[in-house]
Structure 1
Amino acid sequence: MVELGISFATIRSLLVFFAPILIPRAINFYRTIRATLAQRPSPRPLPSSTSRSLNVLFVTITIFLVLSFPFNPHAPDANIFSLTRSRLNTPTDVIFNRLARYRPNNTLTAADMLLRSKLTSIGARKVYLRFGPDTLTSCQFCSLDNVDSYLLYHLPFNTLLPHLFHMLVLGLVTSRPFGGQEVARWRNKFAIAGLALAAIDLYTVTTYDPVQSAQAAVRAGQILPPSLYNQITLIRPLALSIFDGICAGLIYLSATNRFFFTPPSQSEQVDQLVSTSMNSLAGTSSKLHALSVTRNAVVRDKVLKDRDDEYWRTVVAMNGENMGVGNIWEEEEVVRAMSRAMAGQGDVDLAGLGVNAGEYVNGVTAGLER
């Protein structure tokens, strides 16, 4: 049994020394977390702009996940060394004679014949395992004396293009006009993480040699050699799919105020107030415009114009008559009736009248109080 070199007395001495420093900090940290959680608002529905970004991420997650399956239409062809159970030093004729058994009518295809003409040395087989058959057979300027030439041919379309497409998707879904403020706050973080993932992939493809990094038995021709090209072609979309899934989860949690909530800054509050004021002014302007249109329609129509003029002539005539008689509100019967109504002795429901009047005023002036 292995005995620990730290005794109980030593642990007690350390606790006595560090406890006065660590315990207050731990309590303050706990209070800070508790205050932050207490200020967090209740969860809200997902905004429409954020939902649009999540839909795009869901589509890209599905695409990358399908591309990570070995049986998808764009999956790389099986490694001929694993397919034919051949080792690194197996003669070329033996490898392709075995390969012909897996082809229709036991006949090699044109692509197999082209690969057979290239796969004649250990160096070419290392390039095949590292960069795949297309790079080995299609590159016109590459040479086995300079393996970096195959790397330059392989990187743009096989490594950089998927990550470039991925960064474009991240830029789209985290843009403020497309996804809103809730998603835009993650823009820099997602961009840095996406670039880091691309750098790891680029470093792996650039520096990793599946033969030199494998067991000594692979180089000695005792066991089957692994194919970096086949492995990373399927791992890359799987990693991008997982990455986008994590991004979608973070966006959902922050947009619905379930986690990662940050109170709006002063500038955001000012922008929200200005936006609310502009919406209120726009609503008022539209109501005034509708009133102006209605007034113009009345004035332009002869029948409506005559009725409007007749109404106002009648009002003016009634006011002229009342001026000689006196104000109706000052008559004794009217004053007594109003006093009884205000005292609740009449049949008038003042509470209901007040509610109706308030609803009418609120409907007419909707938006103006903001």
Structure 2
Amino acid sequence: MAIAISWGTVKSLLIFFGPVLLPRLITAYRSLRVSIASRPPPRPLPAAAGRALNILFGGIVFFLLLSLPFNPHAPEPNIFTLTRSRLNTPTDVIFNRLSRFRPDNLLTSADTLLQSKLTSLGARRVYLTFGPDALVSCQFCSYDDLTTYLLYYLPFHVLLPHLAHLMLLGIATSAPLAGRDSARWRMKFTLAGLALAAIDIYIMASYDAINGAPLSVRAGQNPPTSLYNNITLLRPLAIVVCDILCAAVIWLSATHRFFFKPPSSEDQIDTAVQMAIQSLTGATTKLHASSVTRNAVVRDKALKSRDDLYWQTMAASESPTGAGGEILNNIWEEEEVARAMSRAMAGQGGIDLAQLGVNANDFVRGVTEGL
């Protein structure tokens, strides 16, 4: 009966929302197909996106080391699990068992201070939720109000690592450092980091290490687990997973394998301006080189005399009359030269005019490259 009602409810919802959702789904499917069809082929990873991935990789390695149980900043083992004690086990019995794990079977000063505090069920709730430091060091906290312990716990244990994570994401998505391929994800990555921090705060504010424990733990059959120990190692591990996903998104989008976004009009204008600037820079460099070469020729007497002689010879060969009006021999009007030019133009002079044109085009292209 329940199945029939559920199916009828589903059909009613489909009938009601179908005319609205179906066109949107069809439009989204078509736009996805167009996006995939117009996506350019994959390209190598740009240098700017590579810097973003290197920054994220450094953060991944750092937080991964913090998630290992044997790192220097890892919390001390839970004394209930270590000594196989239950919630209702007397304090003296717990610490007598704990002394067996200490050098020379003697409790340390920190153990003695913790023993003086761990005398009630409320204290054990604080120990399992916020750790031994909050139980021992907090001066304004009260067992009757766990919010006071939460305020003591949050700044250094929750907010500080998440602020460091957000700063890491901000650097990895900075446009001047990581390029536009990474900067386009800045808002989404920031929201992901904030959501991760909000989930962490919600867990610490809502979880009760005793009331939320399994029934066997509350009945005194099994040792209780410590939320403080677990969350201290899981927090950097969650950040590592988030950074891995962010790095994968940057890599896919930067290499045009997925999440391709066509360049906007502003990007196209910027690209055109950059190309124009590069062309003008190349032309300026070539003009400057030509000017330097010309100055070098003019300043040297031998080169200057050879240059003058060359242009005088060329002027005399091109003009049939000299400076005094006398008739000079024009090399282009000589009979042998005219016949040789005629044979060459007819393709009978052993000269490949097509190859000569290609060579001339290559020469002009090389001289005017960038103009």
The answer to whether the superposition gives a TM-score over 0.5 is yes
Q: What CA distance in whole angstroms lies between the structure 2 residues aligned with 1:205 and 1:348? A: 89
Call closer, same or farther: CA 1:334–1:242 in 2, change over 3 Å: same
Cα offsets for 1:239-297 (capped at 9, x unmatched)? 11111111111111111111111110111000000011111112222223333344444
Q: What CA distance in whole angstroms lies between the structure 1 residues aligned with 2:232 and 2:132? A: 13
1:334 aligns with 2:337: yes
1:357 maps to which residue? 360
Q: Is the 8 A contact 2:53 2:247 kept in 1?
A: yes
Q: Is the 8 A contact 2:298 2:304 kept in 1?
A: no
Q: What CA distance in whole angstroms lies between the structure 1 residues aligned with 2:14 and 2:139? A: 70
Q: What CA distance in whole angstroms lies between the structure 1 residues aligned with 2:259 and 2:333? A: 67
Superposition deviation, residue 20 in structure 1: 9.5
Q: Is the 8 A contact 2:130 2:227 kept in 1?
A: yes
2:49 maps to which residue? 50
Superposition deviation, residue 159 in structure 1: 0.4
Superposition deviation, residue 202 in structure 1: 1.2
Q: Is the 8 A contact 2:209 2:227 kept in 1?
A: yes
2:230 maps to which residue? 231
TM-score by length of structure 1 reads 0.87
Counterpart amino acid of 2:309? T
Q: Which moved more, 1:222-231 or 1:245-254?
A: 222-231
Q: What CA distance in whole angstroms lies between the structure 2 residues aligned with 1:14 and 1:212? A: 39
Map 1:262-301; keep pairs closer than 5 Å: 262-299=261-298
Q: What CA distance in whole angstroms lies between the structure 1 residues aligned with 2:315 and 2:21? A: 89
1:318 aligns with 2:321: no
Counterpart selection for 1:347 from 347, 350, 354? 350
Q: What CA distance in whole angstroms lies between the structure 1 residues aligned with 2:334 and 2:236? A: 90
Q: What CA distance in whole angstroms lies between the structure 1 residues aligned with 2:278 and 2:135? A: 63
Call closer, same or farther: CA 1:22–1:169 in 2, change over 3 Å: closer
Q: What CA distance in whole angstroms lies between the structure 2 residues aligned with 1:5 and 1:348? A: 93
Map 1:123-162; keep pairs closer than 5 Å: 123-162=122-161
Counterpart amino acid of 1:163? H
5+ residue gaps, structure 1, are: none
Q: Secondary structure at the match of 1:341?
A: helix
Superposition deviation, residue 330 in structure 1: 4.4
1:96 aligns with 2:91: no
**What root-mean-square deviation, in Å, do the aligned CA atoms of Structure 1 and Structure 2 show?**
3.0
TM-score by length of structure 2 reads 0.87
Map 1:74-223; keep pairs closer than 5 Å: 74-223=73-222
Superposition deviation, residue 326 in structure 1: 5.8
Q: What CA distance in whole angstroms lies between the structure 2 residues aligned with 1:93 and 1:6? A: 57
Q: Secondary structure at the match of 1:132?
A: helix
Q: What CA distance in whole angstroms lies between the structure 2 residues aligned with 1:217 and 1:44? A: 57
Q: What CA distance in whole angstroms lies between the structure 2 residues aligned with 1:146 and 1:16? A: 51
Q: What CA distance in whole angstroms lies between the structure 2 residues aligned with 1:155 and 1:131? A: 9
Cα offsets for 1:26-75 (capped at 9, x unmatched)? 66554433222111111111111111111121221122222222222322
Q: What CA distance in whole angstroms lies between the structure 2 residues aligned with 1:21 and 1:93? A: 68
5+ residue gaps, structure 2, are: 322-327
Superposition deviation, residue 219 in structure 1: 3.9
Superposition deviation, residue 131 in structure 1: 0.8
Call closer, same or farther: CA 1:138–1:330 in 2, change over 3 Å: farther
Q: Is the 8 A contact 2:297 2:304 kept in 1?
A: no
Q: Is the 8 A contact 1:89 1:221 kept in 2?
A: yes
Q: Which moved more, 1:35-44 or 1:24-33?
A: 24-33
Q: Secondary structure at the match of 1:89?
A: coil
2:324 maps to which residue? none
1:253 maps to which residue? 252
Cα offsets for 1:81-130 (capped at 9, x unmatched)? 11111112211111100001111111111211121122122221111111
Using the aligned pairs only, state the percent identity: 59
Superposition deviation, residue 227 in structure 1: 1.0
Query: How many residues are paired up?
Result: 362
Q: Is the 8 A contact 2:172 2:182 kept in 1?
A: yes
Counterpart amino acid of 1:250? V
Q: Is the 8 A contact 1:211 1:226 kept in 2?
A: no
